Amino acid sequence: MKFFFPDSQDLVDPSFDFDTEKRKETRIRQRDDLYAHEVFEKPPYDGMLVSMAIVHGTGGSTGRYTLGQQRRFSVEGAREFLRLPKGLELIGDCGAFTYVKEPVPPVSVEQVARFYEDSGFDYGASVDHIILEYDPQWDRPLPGTKPVPEDCVRRQELTIQLARDFQKLCRQQKVRFEPIGIAQGWSPKSYSKAVSALQKMGYKYIALGGLVPLKSTEILQVLEEVSPKLRPSTGLHLFGVTRLDYVKEFARHSVISFDSTSPLTQAFKEDRENYYGPERKYPAIRVPQVDINQKLKNRILSGEVSQAEAFRLERECLEALRDFDRRSFRRLELIEVLNEYQQLYGSTRNYSADYEILLKDRPWKECPCAVCRKLGINVVIFRGAERNRRRGFHNVYVTYKRLKHIRGKARTL
Amino acid sequence: MAKASTKAGVRRSRKKTANELLLRVPALEFNQGKDRRLYSFAVDGKELHKFCTISRVSRNDSEGLSGYQRPEVVSHIVQIREYLESENPLLPNAIVVAFDESVRFKPSSPNSENDKAISRTGVLEIPVKEGVLDALKPGWIVDGQQRAAALRDARVEGFPICVVGFIASGLEEQRQQFILVNATKPLPKGLIYELLPSTEGKLPIALQRRRYPALLSERLNFDDDSPMQGMIRTPTNGTGVIADNSILKMLENSLTDGVLYLYDDIEEQLDVLKTFWSAVKTVFPDAWGELPRKSRLMHGAGIVAMGFLMDTIADRHRRTKALTSKVFVNDLEPLRDICHWTEGYWEFGADNRLKWNELQNVPRHIQLLSNYLLIQYRELVWKA
Ligand SMILES: [Zn+2]
């Protein structure tokens, strides 16, 4: 089973100095920065997934790329732009999550196909419209249960029609990428129906969309309904799903690939599970920047907190952490300093107990990845994109290592 | 007010001892008018905070004078701080401080040889109390708050600065001075950009990044062989038809993601720029040199989108042939009929149709026009 890592311009600046917190002045975004596959000796994924919505934006959204980057992406091609090593594959999709609230997708089949073709993708997904509701009961309606909402049915029909148009266009234009058909549904049976329709159109690679909010067992129920109808040559992709504990079951149901950003985003979006250790996940240590943390900024502007005091404590925290890593600062004192700063910036959460476990375990000392080797304790500090994103890269590395381990044990994956 | 007794405040007041010292600094006194005496002296920027407060904000118990600090202040302080931590910083302008009446000036011996009609030398005596609350310090910085904060926070040992102080009769007068010195307008951005090419040494990063594009823009505006000679509108060239900002944007795009990125040499970069824009002038003679309201080619959207076309044409040819005027003209010619700089409609496809003068200098339209030109270029020229 292959793991694709979605691109959303997540790069780190190698010129960033963790002591002075400055970067090279001449640094040019993206060109001088590094992708996760450039940070580690070996890429921590089998390929990348790039959404048209991230590059160009769709409808109202503007995308993450500057106009200059958009231009270079289409002229150089995705592979060269992302500096993707040989052997890694590229899936393109349209990024349906960005227009989920609109009545119809704001992109046309032609636009999307041109985007894939011009940028040189290996696989290109059809245009889809996410179905927001899911309820297995709709498969066995009892008297009195409400019927399937019209909007769900409409979105599925639209998605199937767009997949048909897409397949036709790809054949006409003899495109170089392999088309992927996307199935949307609201229950196991409805997914199965969509997948069968796509298979009939000639799709050999079919992706299931809209699974992100589902529980792992629900995803399995969908797969159990879908897989019996698959031809041996058909493979499935799961959009936005990393459930390593279920990889073996998924594989049994013809899943050949998935993609997910969650190992990266957990590094800075989760409350307590920011750093993936070998046994458990740890919270990262919060040391926000005085000049960026909004809460603290407001307290300074209102005169509630002295800026000098805030700067002093911030610096004290960072120095204490550094000293702790060199074993010249004690754990309990460190936690005390961290708490003092936390009170200043007004966080109501108490992380002391979690910090204590993290500082006792020192998991970053054990990790062989390039990030942990280079950053030391900085990798577990929750602070600014350069630290947070590198911690995310570490999580991606750990995830991929685990996946490879599972794959190694079961040869059929 | 409850807010005044924050943790930090309490800690400080607890530390407070009655240890009052007298800071004595050599100073120059001069009269600016009846009863108006100014004192000029130098002090280590780190010492400033022993006797000055940046803001009287914590004195608002009853008066309700809330902070003067504007929202962007913090990021500005960081910029100055980074400048102060750089190689060889210089801070020539003085910090202005309003003192209360506890500050005294002691002239040196009468008729000292340094004394002139308008000034005399002496020593300024400033009472300094260890660990006193900010609000009780004898000085208030009425101009240079951000520099002072940056000096305090900068990771430097010390940094001598020039201070101009005056003794105000009360809070009212301090405030009046504060408003007066802070009511002046900041320099217009355009003027700063125009001054950039002729500056040396480190500037705040945001300006540093603009310096090189500004230099290219200046050369395009003044070189004799430039098709844009005299056409870029700057504060000193008010008759130009192209906004300097549009040119800077076009240059920045190409410097990071286009053809200019490939060259280190400014003359080579200028050569490509002049060759390309001369070709644009040749292919679109009617739209060239007109005011933006008569020609969208001279408009922000037109300049930026054509800049992307320059980068793309260069990408197509640079490996095989020199980027001559002929190459650019040949590749631009097929696009002549689909461009509507001065009349007609842009046919952006589907239901996207814009009258020529509906094209605005906004991100959405710039993207629309750029994508359209690039797709047309691919279809009509590259693939053809
Ligand atoms: Zn690691």
At B7 the pLDDT is 38
B13 pLDDT tier (thresholds 50, 70, 90): very low
Residues B30-84: tens digit of each pLDDT: 988 777 889 999 999 988 988 988 765 443 444 444 444 444 466 777 888 888 8
Q: Which residues contact A284 (CB under 8 A, 6 or more apart)?
A: A267, A268, A274, A275, A380, A381, A382, A388, A391
Q: Assess A353–B contact: CB distance below 8 Å, yes or no.
A: no
Q: Assess B64–A contact: CB distance below 8 Å, yes or no.
A: no
Q: Assess A346–B contact: CB distance below 8 Å, yes or no.
A: no
At B5 the pLDDT is 37
Residue of chain A with shortest Cα separation from B55: A303
More confident residue, B17 or A280: A280
Amino acid identity, residue A126?
A: S
pTM: 0.82
A245 among known catalytic residues: no
Angle at A166 between CA A162 and CA A169, to 5 degrees: 140
B124 DSSP 8-state letter? E
Cβ <8 Å between A31 and B3:
no
**Beta strands A235-238 and A205-208: pairing type?**
parallel
Q: Which two tokens stand for residue B286?
A: 């009617």
CB-nearest partner of A304 from B3, B78, B378: B3
More confident residue, B353 or A204: A204
Residues B76-106: tens digit of each pLDDT: 778 888 888 888 889 888 999 989 889 999 9
Cβ <8 Å between B74 and A309:
no
Residues B294-332: tens digit of each pLDDT: 999 999 999 999 999 999 999 999 888 899 999 999 999
B204 pLDDT tier (thresholds 50, 70, 90): low
Catalytic option among A7, A46, A259, A325: A259
Residues B112-132: tens digit of each pLDDT: 676 677 888 999 999 988 767
pLDDT for residue B287 is more than 90:
yes
Looking at chain B from residue 117 to 156, which residues have their Cβ under 8 Å from any Cβ of chain A? Answer: 134, 149, 152-153, 155
Mean pLDDT of chain A: 94
Mean pLDDT of chain B: 83
Q: Mind spelling out the 3-state secondary structure of B90-112?
A: CCCCCEEEEECCCCEEEECCCCC
Distance A255 CA to ligand 1 centre (A): 28
At B338 the pLDDT is 96
> Where does residue B311 rank: exposed (0-12), middle (13-18), buried (19+ CB within 10 A)?
buried
Residues A268-301: tens digit of each pLDDT: 999 999 999 999 999 999 999 987 888 888 887 7
A259 among known catalytic residues: yes
For helices B244-257 and A67-76, angle between their N-to-C axes, nearest 10 degrees = 40
Q: Assess A76–B contact: CB distance below 8 Å, yes or no.
A: yes
A58 pLDDT tier (thresholds 50, 70, 90): confident
B183 pLDDT tier (thresholds 50, 70, 90): low
Put residue A36 in one of left, alpha, beta given phi > 0 → left and psi -120 to 50 → alpha.
alpha
Q: With contact defined as beta carbons under 8 Å apart, do A238 and A258 qualify?
A: yes
pLDDT for residue B253 is more than 50:
yes
